[in-house]
Amino acid sequence: MPDAFQVWGRTPIAQPHLPPAAGPSGLEYHSAAEGAHEPEPPAVHRVGWGFISLYTLAFMSTSMLFIAPLLVTMALKVNSLVGIKAAPSSLSLVAGVGALLSIFANPFFGRMSDRTSSPLGMRRPWMVIGLAVGTFGILVVALAPNIAVVLLGWCIAQVFFNALLAAMVAVLPDQVPTVQRGLVSGVLGVCLPIAAVSGTFVVKLFTGNQLTMFLAPCIIGGLFILPFAATLKDRRLAKADKPTWSLREFASTFYVNPRKNPDFAWAFVSRFMFVLAYAFLITYQAYYLLNQIASTEADVPRQIFLGTVAQSVLLIAASLIGGRVSDRTGRRKIFVLTASIVYGLALFVIAIASSFNGFLVGTAISGLGFGLYVAVDLALVVDVLPDKNSAAKDLGVFNIAGALPFSMAPAIAPAILAMGGGSYGVLYAVAGVSAIIGAFAILPVKGVR
């Protein structure tokens, strides 16, 4: 076992100090949430850029595993099986059931990770298992002869890719000290747009070979995930410290008491309202362009691409800058508040736009708000985790706030459109109000500045 001050990826600063989640045999491995709640001494072992780089590539690869099928290959597979007329409803069934499973799978595997006393560590086993079994699920989808088998394969993939994701997210509170969480959270915030572009590009390289189109993102993603898992100085849980299993404990996997943990509850509400606004935007932007802007069907793909590029440029810049400034100022709430308000205002701009240029301006502004939000939101949540010994589980519960809106938005939108006379401007105005409600929901949080 290496010395505590030679942990890979960490740079000692000033006086030596044993960092959370790292230490020689026989010394206590502090929990992730304990590291979040306990005040850190002046001399903190910061993570180095070697660790940050490998973590970012692994996190980006994890995002690509989810995004590549949803953006391209799943739709093509379903269309090849049932034809263009039945494809939308079949795809909705597959994606909807998968999203529902992910809501439960993420906190469940977060709990399992927190309870894992393997000699390999707490997070590493689930990274490897999640990648391997999730890739098997993708293989089932690629070879499926009918929609039922596609559904089965996608459910396997969603469940085990969420096991991978739960372990990957838990690395942030495990390994990164509070003074760097804004920086690392900001770097991770750019993973989603880059993963979307990368996943689409990889799929395009293998157009015409459906099996390779499905498996290539998994193989390439594994080339970054596995080296990170292999070199991670993972936390270890002694078997004597492993909590006993009970039905009550299992039920608590999907729940955090809001009365006992008000900071966590308010952060959950803030994330939920923000993501609900985002779900409205991306789900209905094609119909918005067709109805409100009067674009032709041939122009819509190009217009969405241009909007995505404009949004991504500002998103990446805001995320990288916002995370670093948050760390330097020691503040989180003001960034989440400002980001949510900016995002809400961007949706109002889109709501009143009468031309594509107005839509483009609105989406660009939304990238500024979204980038600032993702730079700081995760760091804020890690700082208010309620349980010292269940960081991954609690992060899994929090991830419900990011998954549930994508199931609720399609259910709520028809009613809003009916009340608004079919106006997508009204729908996006409601989305803007949702984001602003999310902004003010962060104000009652007292555990962070």
pLDDT level of residue 191 (50, 70, 90 thresholds)? confident
Whole-number pLDDT of residue 13: 29
With a CB cutoff of 8 Å and minimum separation 6, the contacts of 331 are 448, 449
Domains of the chain: 46-252 (1.20.1250.20), 262-441 (1.20.1250.20)
pLDDT level of residue 126 (50, 70, 90 thresholds)? very high
Q: Residue 10: what are its φ and ψ, rounded to 5°?
A: -115, 140
Nearest alpha-carbon partner for 315 in 356, 270, 373: 373
Whole-number pLDDT of residue 160: 95
pLDDT level of residue 391 (50, 70, 90 thresholds)? low
Tens-place pLDDT, residues 223-259: 999 999 999 988 887 776 666 666 666 666 666 677 7
Who has greater pLDDT, 343 or 106? 343
> d(Cα 74, Cα 415) in Å, to the nearest integer?
28
Nearest alpha-carbon partner for 168 in 327, 369, 378: 378
The SS3 of residue 11 is strand
Whole-number pLDDT of residue 301: 65
Q: How far does Cα 142 stand from its chain's mean position?
A: 25
Whole-number pLDDT of residue 256: 67
Is the pLDDT assigned to residue 361 strictly greater than 80?
A: yes
- Neighbour count for residue 162 (Cβ, 10 Å): 29
The SS3 of residue 55 is helix
Q: What is the mean pLDDT of residues 209-223?
A: 92
- Neighbour count for residue 42 (Cβ, 10 Å): 8
Place of tokens 């122009």: 299
Token digits of residue 275: 């993501």
Is the pLDDT assigned to residue 428 strictly greater than 80?
A: yes
Residue 76 identity: L
Burial of 396 (0-12, 13-18, 19+ CB in 10 A): buried
Whole-number pLDDT of residue 129: 95
Answer yes or no: are the C-beta atoms of 64 and 198 closer than 8 Å. yes
> d(Cα 447, Cα 379) in Å, to the nearest integer?
12
Is the pLDDT assigned to residue 103 strictly greater than 60?
A: yes
Nearest alpha-carbon partner for 384 in 203, 173, 231: 173
Who has greater pLDDT, 92 or 392? 92
Token digits of residue 383: 């700082």
Answer yes or no: are the C-beta atoms of 262 and 269 closer than 8 Å. no
For 274-339, the DSSP string reads HHHHHHHHHHHHHHHHHHTS---TTTHHHHHHHHHHHHHHHHHHHHHHHHHHHHHHT--HHHHHHH
Residue 301 identity: P
Who has greater pLDDT, 448 or 308? 308
Tens-place pLDDT, residues 22-52: 232 222 333 333 334 444 443 447 778 888 8
